[in-house]
Amino acid sequence: MCTVCDKRFTTKVNLNDHRKRHTGEILYSCTHCEKCFSSQSNLSQHMNIHRGNFKCTECGQCCGSSQHLARHRRSHSGEKPFECTVCSKRFTRAGHLVIHSRIHSREKPYQCYVCDKAFSQSCALNTHMRVHTGDKPHKCSQCSKCFSQSGHLLQHKRRLHSNIRPYYCPYCGKRFKIINQLKRHVCIHTDAKPYACRHCSDCFRWLIQLNRHLLKSHNEGTWFTCDICQQQFITRGNLKEHSRRRHEGVKPYVCSECTKRFCTVRELRLHHLVHSDIKRYSCSLCDKSFKHPQTVVKHFQRCSNSVLQ
């Protein structure tokens, strides 16, 4: 822990680098990208990326060392020399095999010194520590909202500030902004139930259904309880939404087209359809199109009744 600002770190190296910012000690800075390093040797290795000393002849990407270049070339050749002795899965890097092997050994060498929670990877521990420190280093350039993980920031930008939908369904062609939305959608076509209960034979389409089943039927897991009304929820997100809506009256999601505010991202996304001329929900019986999914469901019911008559 830093004695000046009480910020916590998982390694002494990170702590020492942080202390230099308080003492005014000079860090080794890259003149090209302004990255800072704790030693001259680390900076010199980084500079090779900008000099292009170790450049891939296939894609032009520059690497910091010959070892990094050799690992990068495996991505083109498909070579995976490191094999797991348990499940025979192969990897391009020895470090990836070490991390993978912890799935079988259940080894979690990185432990949080605040709550004793353990992790199999150091990056997972670093991300977890932000729960205790409150650090949110990833800031949205458009709405200034901050996030503890870069992945959460990327999802936020795609959901609210972009119309890019890079993931598409191989069955119906529907496109999605994030991969998890696509995975949930594909289950509709395949009728797959990949989430199996370890205690009984029940299987579920969604993870939240499995978690609800484990809590209610096998008393496994943790309920998230509201401090004010004692109502219980399956997920922390459901509890946060409940608190905003029932007790706090907070609506953090603001429409960019008007002044309306909403409690959840989903409500804001549905509201955005009001300002759009796009009608992406179509009736399969009469080809009429609608903005909202609820509208097309009601229409389909009326339309199917009229066809039967």
> Domain of 304: which CATH number?
3.30.160
Per-residue b or e along 269-299, where b marks 16 or more CB atoms closer than 10 Å to that residue's CB: eebebeeeeeeebebeeeeeebbeeebbeeb
Same domain flag for 208 and 229: no
Same domain flag for 207 and 217: yes
Rounded distance between C-alpha atoms, residue 202 and residue 208, angstroms:
14
Same domain flag for 235 and 299: no
Same domain flag for 301 and 230: no
**Facing residues of 119 across strands?**
110
Let me know: does 62 contact 48? Beta carbons within 8 Å. Answer: yes
Q: Which domain holds residue 205?
A: 193-222
What digits encode the pLDDT tens for the residues 23-32? 545 467 777 6
Same domain flag for 230 and 291: no
> Does some domain include residue 92?
no
Q: How many domains does the chain have?
A: 4
Residue 41: predicted pLDDT = 73
Rounded distance between C-alpha atoms, residue 97 and residue 123, angstroms:
16
Residue 20: predicted pLDDT = 60
> Does some domain include residue 308?
yes
Rounded distance between C-alpha atoms, residue 127 and residue 85, angstroms:
30
- Domain end residue (candidates: 24, 54, 79): 79
Residue 5: predicted pLDDT = 59
Same domain flag for 52 and 12: yes
Low-confidence ranges of the chain (pLDDT < 70): 1-14, 16-27, 32-39, 48-53, 60, 64, 77, 284, 306-309
> Does some domain include residue 29?
yes
> Does some domain include residue 121?
no
- Domain end residue (candidates: 79, 113, 134): 79
Same domain flag for 240 and 217: no
> Does some domain include residue 57?
yes
Rounded distance between C-alpha atoms, residue 55 and residue 108, angstroms:
36
Tokens of 245: 């809506």
Residue 149: predicted pLDDT = 79
- Domain end residue (candidates: 222, 239, 266): 222
> Does some domain include residue 263?
yes
Residue whose C-alpha is closest to residue 272's, from 287, 260, 288: 260
Same domain flag for 71 and 34: yes
Same domain flag for 269 and 199: no
Residue 13: predicted pLDDT = 65
Domain with 231 in it: what CATH number?
3.30.160.60
Residue 190: predicted pLDDT = 80
Residue 26: predicted pLDDT = 47
> Does some domain include residue 31?
yes
> Does some domain include residue 198?
yes
Same domain flag for 270 and 290: no
Residue 24: predicted pLDDT = 47
Same domain flag for 207 and 238: no
Same domain flag for 10 and 71: yes
